[in-house]
Amino acid sequence: MEGGHQSSFSPSPLFLKGMFGELICGPPGSGKTTYCEGKRQFLSVYDPCRPVIMVNFDPANESVFPYPCDVDIRDVVCLEKVMEEENLGPNGSYLFCAEVIGQRVDWVVGQIESAVERRIEEVYATAGPSPTVKAPYLLIDCPGQVEFYINSDALHVFISKVQKRVQCSLCTVHLVDAAIATRDIPSYVSSCVLALTTMIDHELPHINLLTKWDTVENTEGVESEFEIFLSGSNFSDEDFERVWVKQIKKKRYEQYVAAQCLPSDKAAAYLKKPEDLPVDLEKECGTLYKHTKALMGVVEGYGIVGFLPLAIQSENMMLKVTREIDGALGNFV
């Protein structure tokens, strides 16, 4: 310390043994940043002796965070500045940022080490006399663009450095907006394929979440399919056909109701009641049906995709998710 001052802080033995952390991934708008803040607040109550370190790994994140950011990748490279200075589009700028990050990973890990020490010291200062400080916990807010993972090795280099240098066990937490994933079968299969791609690419323990569940669980026609949309690889052919037919009939009914407001000559095609019309998926959806079914076959073949529901305000859901992640990490301390 400067001036010869001796700090009373001494690293927790658990810090010397290792750490745990989450790579929070998922498409843009799936709620990654909101999840980070919700998880931080939850852990501050549920496990206050667990030092939590917040890392923004997204060079395109908003300027104002809902959480206290301990390490910000935008101190290394910022997507907005890259777009202006290099005259690149969003995707090209992301790849440019990824290359820069890949070259500065050692600096990022060094910042994490410093942040860990600060957070441990805070726990010792606020948790009362002789607190039992648990292993530090990283929450890493990752980019939503899949190009960042598929077309660059920056994240893989970062994962390797964090695992080796600070002995951190990581789990990928992949978020998907439940309202989007459950709106129709093709969207659901697309969400499953993206989750599977992330699982294969990261090669880490993995938890998939259907976020914003409170926006869909009481929606007509969704609540009864609750377990089905969580099943992922166990989504049966029978459910695949039945749910898709049900969704088409619902869409037809909406068109039928809307047609009541049209002039009679334009409404004629929609005025026959939906229940009177049979649904032939292969005929009605064509190649979309064939390709979607083929992709679902790939997801089923791997047999590893499944989802947990999460409404960020639900303490019970957050507790269940936290326990699942701790189990995947082997964090039983």
Tens-digit pLDDT profile for residues 276-318: 667 778 887 889 989 999 999 999 999 999 999 999 999 999 9
Residue ranges of E strands in the chain: 19-25, 52-56, 71-72, 137-141, 168-177, 206-211, 308-310
33 and 134 fall within a common domain: yes
Q: What's CA 243's distance to the chain center, in Å? A: 25
162 and 50 fall within a common domain: yes
pTM: 0.86
Does 272 fall in a domain? Answer: yes
pLDDT at 286 (0 to 100) = 87
Does 139 fall in a domain? Answer: yes
156 and 246 fall within a common domain: no
303 and 220 fall within a common domain: yes
Structure tokens at 287: 């190649």
194 and 306 fall within a common domain: yes
231 and 126 fall within a common domain: no
Number of folded domains that form the chain? 2
Q: Which amino acid is at 6?
A: Q
Does 243 fall in a domain? Answer: yes
Does 15 fall in a domain? Answer: yes
Let me know if 150 is exposed, middle or buried by CB neighbors in 10 A (0-12, 13-18, 19+).
exposed
pLDDT tens for the chain, 333 residues long, are 344 444 444 555 545 568 999 999 999 989 999 999 999 999 999 888 889 999 999 998 876 778 889 999 999 999 999 998 999 998 889 899 999 999 999 999 999 999 999 998 888 888 667 777 888 999 999 998 888 888 888 999 999 999 999 899 999 999 999 999 988 999 999 999 999 999 999 999 999 999 999 888 655 544 456 678 898 888 888 888 888 888 888 777 777 777 666 565 555 555 555 556 677 788 878 899 899 999 999 999 999 999 999 999 999 999 999 999 999 999 876
Residue 62: phi, psi to the nearest 5? -60, 155
77 and 195 fall within a common domain: no
161 and 188 fall within a common domain: no
Does 320 fall in a domain? Answer: no
CB 207 within 8 A of CB 328: yes
CB 123 within 8 A of CB 51: yes
Of 101, 135, 142, 136, the residue nearest 115 (C-alpha): 136
> How open is the CA angle 29-181-183, to the nearest 5 degrees?
110
229: left (phi over 0), alpha (psi -120 to 50) or beta: alpha
pLDDT at 266 (0 to 100) = 55
38 and 162 fall within a common domain: yes
Does 1 fall in a domain? Answer: no
The Cα 90–Cα 197 span in angstroms is 22
191 and 258 fall within a common domain: yes
pLDDT at 9 (0 to 100) = 44
Domain that holds residue 129: 11-166
3-state class (DSSP) for residue 178: helix
Does 236 fall in a domain? Answer: yes
69 and 182 fall within a common domain: no
181 and 305 fall within a common domain: yes
pLDDT at 269 (0 to 100) = 55
pLDDT at 59 (0 to 100) = 92
**Structural domain ending residue among the three candidates 137, 166, 195:** 166
pLDDT at 218 (0 to 100) = 59
Of 71, 70, 129, 75, the residue nearest 97 (C-alpha): 75
Largest CA distance in the chain: 89
Does 331 fall in a domain? Answer: no
